[in-house]
Amino acid sequence: MSADPTAVATALQVLAHLGVTLTDLQSDTGAPATLPTVAEYLPRVVAAAGPGARRTYGTYWERMATAWGDWPLNRVAASDIEAMKQEMVATARSRRNSRSGRHAGEHVIAAARAFYSRAVADGLIDASASPAHRVAKPRRLPSTRRALTPHELEEINTVARTSGNDVILDALVLRLHTESACRRGGALALRLVDLDRTSGLVRLAEKGTVRWQPVSLDLAEHLYEHARVRGAVAPTDQLLRYRNGQPISSRRYDHLWKRIGERLPWVAAQGISTHWLRHTTLTWVERHFGYGVARAYAGHTDSPGSSTTTYIKADLHDVADALSAMTGQPHPLVTALETSNGPATGTLP
């Protein structure tokens, strides 16, 4: 329904009598008279984001700045974001674990939502005006990851220990992930100060959480010797290192699985990666020690499901019990050792 011209004229006369303009009324709402452009605002978004968000969304934020850099924040429409999503899906690079560009499409929307959530928090736009939150994210497909069989795990470890230019490093990496069920980021973040050789613990910093995770005393000693021999001296020096003393990066994982896939075609065909080791260990723990222990082993801190989860929490000693049973090795935190046939972690060369 259009406004009554007579009423509008009367309202304008009242405002003029009070010495107030429409611009004054708009500025009183707290919104700036001129919104920054996408390119102008992006540095503030990047500065406020954590390292994980910058790594995941950085490419898509740059795409936004290239496409809409000169546009004020309120000019971008939901259809613009939807169009960029479709473009990224169509041009996504094919990788071992790709899902026909679906992940790229999800990340476009997630990056745009993170961008506009910051603008809402800064009071630049109203929450209802965010175009990113009016674009539906595609439903996530079920994961194709599964627990590896003991035979498959042994094959992978054998290839890692008998090929490549640094079998000691590769065997150590696989064993670390199998024993601790850590994520790749957690392993790369490990420093000398994060290793407790006496208690058989490593301090994992991953996905915004920090926790102590039991590992076998044998693995803890190998991690220490590896780091010491390869030049780690200061407490903050990274544990996992190349022969030349330089800390490893995620590229080592990419090369490792590419090499394993070349020698084991089923690894390449199924897109097996380091995260499958986490699935393998946590599945074994859940089958033998229950959901509560598996949850603690994984380092999950959220509280999904019913209130029953409040009463099935496990502690560090429970996790150490599961580790001892899985590896068949005693652990300082174990209350009662119960050995069983767990995933074969392999022996270090």
What does the H/E/C string look like for the chain? CCCCHHHHHHHHHHHHHHCCCHHHHHHCCCCCCCCCEHHHHHHHHHHHCCHHHHHHHHHHHHHHHHHHCCCEHHHCCHHHHHHHHHHHHHHCCCCCCCCCCHHHHHHHHHHHHHHHHHHHHCCCCCHHHCCHHHCCCCCCCCCCCCCCCHHHHHHHHHHHHHCCCCHHHHHHHHHHHHHHCCCHHHHHCCEHHHEECCCCEEEEEECCEEEEEECCHHHHHHHHHHHHHCCCCCCCCECCECCCCCECCHHHHHHHHHHHHHHCHHHHHHCCCHHHHHHHHHHHHHHHHCHHHHHHHHCCCCCCCCHHHHHCCCCHHHHHHHHHHHHCCCCCCCCCCCCCCCCCCCCCC
Alpha-carbon gap, residue 1 to 236, rounded angstroms = 66
pLDDT at 105 (0 to 100): 85
Give pLDDT, residue 143. Answer: 75
- pLDDT given at position 103: 77
Q: What is the pTM of this model?
A: 0.71
Query: What integer pLDDT is reported at residue 339 of this predicted model?
Result: 45
User: So what's the pLDDT on residue 28?
Assistant: 46
- With pLDDT > 70 as the criterion, what percentage of the chain qualifies? 81
pLDDT (0 to 100) of residue 39: 96
pLDDT at residue 52 in the model = 80
How high is the pLDDT of residue 253? 96
Q: What mean pLDDT is reported for the chain?
A: 86
pLDDT in tens, the chain (349 residues): 566 777 767 766 766 666 656 555 554 444 455 899 999 999 999 999 988 889 889 999 999 999 999 999 999 999 999 999 999 888 866 554 444 446 788 889 999 999 999 999 999 999 999 999 999 877 766 777 899 999 999 999 999 999 999 999 999 999 999 999 999 999 999 999 999 999 999 999 998 899 999 999 999 999 999 999 999 999 999 999 999 999 999 999 999 999 999 999 999 999 999 999 999 999 999 999 999 999 999 998 765 555 556 666 889 999 999 999 999 999 999 854 444 455 655 544 4
pLDDT given at position 91: 81
Domains recognised in the chain with CATH numbers = 1-30 (no CATH), 33-134 (1.10.150), 150-327 (1.10.443.10)
Q: What is the pLDDT of residue 3?
A: 65
Rounded CA separation 316/329 (Å): 16
